[in-house]
Amino acid sequence: MDKPATIKDVADLARVHAATASRALNPQTRDKVSPRTAARIVEAARTLGYSPNSAARSLRTRTSSVVGVVIPDLRNPVFPPIVRGVEDALREAGYLALLGNTDGDAERERDLLATMRGQQLAGFILATSKRDSLPFGPDVSVVLVNRRTDAGDVASVVADSRAGVHALVNLLVERGHSRIAHLAGPQDTSTGVERHRAFLDGLAAHDLAPVGVEVCAAFSEQAGFEATHKLLAAVRPTAIVAGNDMIALGCYGALAELGLRCPEDVSVTGFNDMPFVDKQRPALTTVRIPHYDIGYEAARLLLERIAAPASPPKRVVLPVELIVRGSVAGPAADRA
Amino acid sequence: MDKPATIKDVADLARVHAATASRALNPQTRDKVSPRTAARIVEAARTLGYSPNSAARSLRTRTSSVVGVVIPDLRNPVFPPIVRGVEDALREAGYLALLGNTDGDAERERDLLATMRGQQLAGFILATSKRDSLPFGPDVSVVLVNRRTDAGDVASVVADSRAGVHALVNLLVERGHSRIAHLAGPQDTSTGVERHRAFLDGLAAHDLAPVGVEVCAAFSEQAGFEATHKLLAAVRPTAIVAGNDMIALGCYGALAELGLRCPEDVSVTGFNDMPFVDKQRPALTTVRIPHYDIGYEAARLLLERIAAPASPPKRVVLPVELIVRGSVAGPAADRA
DNA sequence: TTGTAAGCGTTATCAA
DNA sequence: TTGATAACGCTTACAA
């Protein structure tokens, strides 16, 4: 067990040539070798504990069973289940996931992709949120997560944020709200832009206009806190649609500081249904996104593209679920 | 940009031989080539967007710049910051992280490690929690996270759980508690066992015995919920030390169901200081573990071992911090 | 200081 | 059906 066995060792033990051993051991080409010798070779491989040297194989085949998975930051709670879904789907196909964080930083992303490019990866799953163009040629298999290019030629998996925002707006309108504001996510992210747009035309469908829109500097509690203060300095909505759960939590904090009660004075909604938002006070009304499924589906799509690179890239939209909790009530006027 | 540039392309452009280009591009051997030609080569590499083919390099050098990172489940909130710390330290050294989840399943773990072994990895970071022995020879660089082998010959990074549990016990005793129980984590995990032991001898240091100990089936809310019911069917502690935050949250639920108030009737402590436990009601008293630092340190240690495999394996213990919040008060008797 | 040449382990092509 | 051979891109003695 000192040096790992090579295919030459296996071939010698089975008294065949290395090329034959290669054919016998590769499912693709197994039928090009007689069953008897194939069995002998497989047996030899087992006794030697042979496992192929992936470096040599990659060098020869110009590909590998490793996929690059690029995300902004694993500590953002939406990504762990996505990555887990990716990994599960990859593993079922014998692939492995090479993980990298970019912090949304363009240079760090370029750097990472350059390093990864050297690794003969079979493909990439990109969940970075910036809306710039892709640093890949059409020869590289790519699936985008929660993001789309303007050019429609890249496979992608997204949640139906649009439908989610509409469901939130509809809920608020049904409960009697007409003075509704939006704490938008950063407008250089596709989710930020998309939810903002959906908010506007969701309202428009009810012949309503937003009572105010404030753009947050980040999808963070702090940014949500600050944006809420700015928003409420100007207008008095009875309901606030936040760009995501983190922003909604920041909104909770600012409301408390201003002596406004949620939901009695202001209803609040989030987006993502992060862990523990059901335990907040009040429990947050939000939209649940199938994070794990998004990751799983993205990996499946990538494997499909690896197998058939020429096929037209699919764009999958996964359904979301409205989760109604205590943070939404009728407008204060109803009870006045 | 069709085919990625090879070192030969770079050499041709710089009008030198591939070997010279290799020397110039490798920090190790840069001084073996004249500064002028080296500069020309580096320039050529940049204009061609050259990045070395790692398969070829691995094949030649029998190693790679990729490290296997094996954890039970990324969705467990302790792991994302650890993995992020690992990735940051690796990236600073030009390494990449190959991530795999095992779900604590022995077969899945064996499977994963076998797949990874074929990849010429430079080393492994193992954060799986089972206490079984290592499936590696001494030729493989390994660092353990939150876990140690019984044999002391493997590098590891752990948090000082022992000190953390003692701090919790001391806090409770100072507040006047003497009827203290423990909801232990699974006893086939090293953290579960270690915290249990620390609980017992932390009490013993105050000449106290536990009023009850219930072992949870998992580090989960559900398991904590069930174990709390069992515990309270038998005994009436004034304080409960939970094996981690998830178990503590399960405990919250069971207490509420039994009509017991926290902290008025029962004080509760957790472990880990997960995100959002400060937002629970009551806010959870717990022990903060430097997750990111643990990951970062583990990767640093691994890189050291890769550089000097013969050096004696270090065992790093990182300090923890007691976080006192509303879930701990004096025992009810004080106020009666 | 630079060039030459060999070889890492595998697989694809060609010939037998 | 099997064997011989070359090539993938890189690094490293060794030679110049």
Q: What is the mean pLDDT of residues A156-174?
A: 97
| Per-residue buried b or exposed e for B91-106, using 16+ beta carbons within 10 Å of the residue's own CB | beeebbbbbbbbebee
Inspect the interface and report whether the beta carbons of B119 and A79 lie closer than 8 Å.
no
Question: Could you tell me which residues are beta bridge partners of residue B239?
Answer: B180, B267
Which token pair is B173? Answer: 């005793």
Q: What is the mean pLDDT of residues A192-217?
A: 97
Distance from CA of B206 to the nearest CA of A (A): 36
- Asked if the model's pLDDT at residue B153 lies above 90, the reply is no
Place of tokens 């990074």: B157
Alpha helices, H only, chain B: 7-14, 18-25, 35-48, 54-61, 79-92, 106-117, 161-174, 190-204, 221-234, 245-257, 291-307, 332-335
In whole angstroms, D10 C1' to B298 CA is: 30
Average pLDDT across chain B, whole number: 92
What is the tens place of the pLDDT at every residue in B242-262? 999 999 999 999 999 999 999
The values of phi and psi at residue A306, to 5°, are -65, -40
Residue nearest to nucleotide C13 (CA to C1'): A19
- Asked if the model's pLDDT at residue A333 lies above 80, the reply is no
User: Best of B26, B59, B90, B294 to disrupt the A interface by mutation (most A CBs within 10 Å)?
Assistant: B59
Q: What kind of architecture, by CATH, is found in domain B161-289+322-335?
A: 3-Layer(aba) Sandwich (3.40)
Q: At how many degrees (to 10) do helices A35-48 and A18-25 cross? A: 90
What is the tens place of the pLDDT at every residue in B91-134? 999 999 999 999 988 889 888 988 888 888 999 999 986 666 67
Average pLDDT across chain A, whole number: 92
Inspect the interface and report whether the beta carbons of A119 and B97 lie closer than 8 Å.
no
Domains B63-158+291-319 and B161-289+322-335 share a fold: yes
In whole angstroms, D15 C1' to B41 CA is: 23
Q: Which chain B residue lies closest to A140 (C-alpha atoms)?
A: B2
- C-alpha A68/C-alpha A90 separation (Å) is 11
Q: Shortest CA–C1' contact from A38: which nucleotide?
A: D1
Amino acid A138: pLDDT:
76
Listed by start position, the domains of chain B span 7-51, 63-158+291-319, 161-289+322-335
Q: What is the mean pLDDT of residues A240-251?
A: 97
Inspect the interface and report whether the beta carbons of B118 and A54 lie closer than 8 Å.
yes
| Domain boundaries B63-158+291-319, corresponding CATH code | 3.40.50.2300
- Asked if the model's pLDDT at residue B1 lies above 90, the reply is no
In whole angstroms, D7 C1' to A61 CA is: 11
- C-alpha B106/C-alpha B112 separation (Å) is 10
Window from A250-254, A308-312, B149-153, B224-228 with minimum mean pLDDT? B149-153
